[in-house]
Amino acid sequence: MLRLAVILLLLANAGYRAWSQGLLRPWGLAPEAQTEPQRMHQQIRPETLQILPPGPGTTAPTPTAQPVAASTASTASGQTPDASAECLRAGVFDEQQADALRTAAAGLPSGSWTLEPSLMPGRWMVYMGRFDDQDALDKKRTELRARKVDFDRAGGPWEPGLSLGRFSSEEAARRELQNLSSKGVRSARVIRERPESIGYTLRLPAVTDALRPQLAALRSALAGKTWRNCD
C-alpha cells in the first residue's frame, strides 16, 4: 500500500506540473491566462506617440551643482587674470624704515601692498675694538691674519672695530670666543649687536605691467634692499 501511495503522489505532482505549464491546453486543461488584452484594444494610434522636450513654462530637472574652476569663474565674470602679474617682496625693515615705506607706498592702488610684521631675533657679535686710530686697527688686522682668524668690519656704532663672527644666540657667540682664545686671541669680547625687535617685510602680491612703473616711488624708501620673488 505504501508503494502505491508513493506512485499516486508522483503521478499527481507530474499532472499538476503539466497543467500549470499549459502542456494539457490541447485537451482543454490549462490555468486561466493572466493577461489584459482589452487594454491593447483600447490604445488609439500608438505609433504616433512622440516624446517632446519641456516647454517654456515647464521646470526641467535641476542637475547636481558642480564646482567651477577659478579660471572659468573669472572668465564668466569678465575678469581675466593678468598672466604677467607676479608677487614681489623686499625686506626686512625696522620700524623707522617701515614708516618711510608707508609714506612712499601711499600713492599705490589700495590693496596692492602690505607690510607684514615678523619677530627679528637678537644678534650677538664677537668683537674687538674700539681702536684708538687707524694704525692700531691695521696692526690688529695683521695679527689676526697671522693667527689665521677670519674677521670683518664691525659696522655701525662699533667702528673702528672688528667682528670675529656674528651669531643668533649669546651661547653660540661665547663658544666661538672660547675657540678663538685657544688660538691666542685675548682682547675680543661678546657684545649684543642687535636686540630682539619687530621687523617688516614689504609684499606686493600681484605686480602687473600697469603697476611696475609706480614702484619707482618706493626706490628711496627701500634703503638699498632689492625686490625678490615671493616663495
- Residue extents of the structural domains in the chain: 86-119+197-229, 123-194
Alpha carbon distance 124, 69 (integer Å): 51
Judge whether 185 and 147 are in contact, CB under 8 Å: yes
192 and 124 in contact (C-beta within 8 Å)? yes
Average pLDDT value over all residues in the chain: 81
How far is Cα 76 from Cα 69, in angstroms, rounded to an integer? 11
What's residue 187's pLDDT?
A: 93
Residues 6+ apart with CB under 8 A from 162: 127, 128, 129, 137, 140, 141, 144, 151, 152, 153, 154
Q: Cα torsion for 144, 147, 148, 153, to the nearest 10°?
A: -10
Say which residue the cell 516624446 belongs to. 51
- Which sign does the torsion angle of CA 216, 218, 222, 223 carry? positive
pTM of the shown model: 0.47
Q: What is the pLDDT of residue 42?
A: 60
Write out pLDDT tens, residues 92-108. 999 999 999 999 999 99
Task: Say if 86-119+197-229 and 123-194 have the same CATH topology.
Answer: yes
Query: Using an 8 Å Cβ cutoff, are 169 and 144 in contact?
Result: no
Q: Which residues of the chain have pLDDT under 50?
A: 60-79
Q: What are phi and psi for residue 116, nearest 5 degrees? A: -100, 120
Which residue, among 176, 197, 198, has the nearest Cα to 125 in the 3D structure? 176
Domain at 123-194: CATH code: 3.30.70
Peptide bond into 160 cis (omega under 30): yes
| Predicted local confidence at residue 78, as pLDDT | 44
pLDDT (0 to 100) of residue 48: 59
User: What is the CATH code of the structural domain delimited by 86-119+197-229?
Assistant: 3.30.70.2750
Residues 6+ apart with CB under 8 A from 200: 91, 92, 93, 94, 95, 97, 98, 101, 115, 116, 117, 118
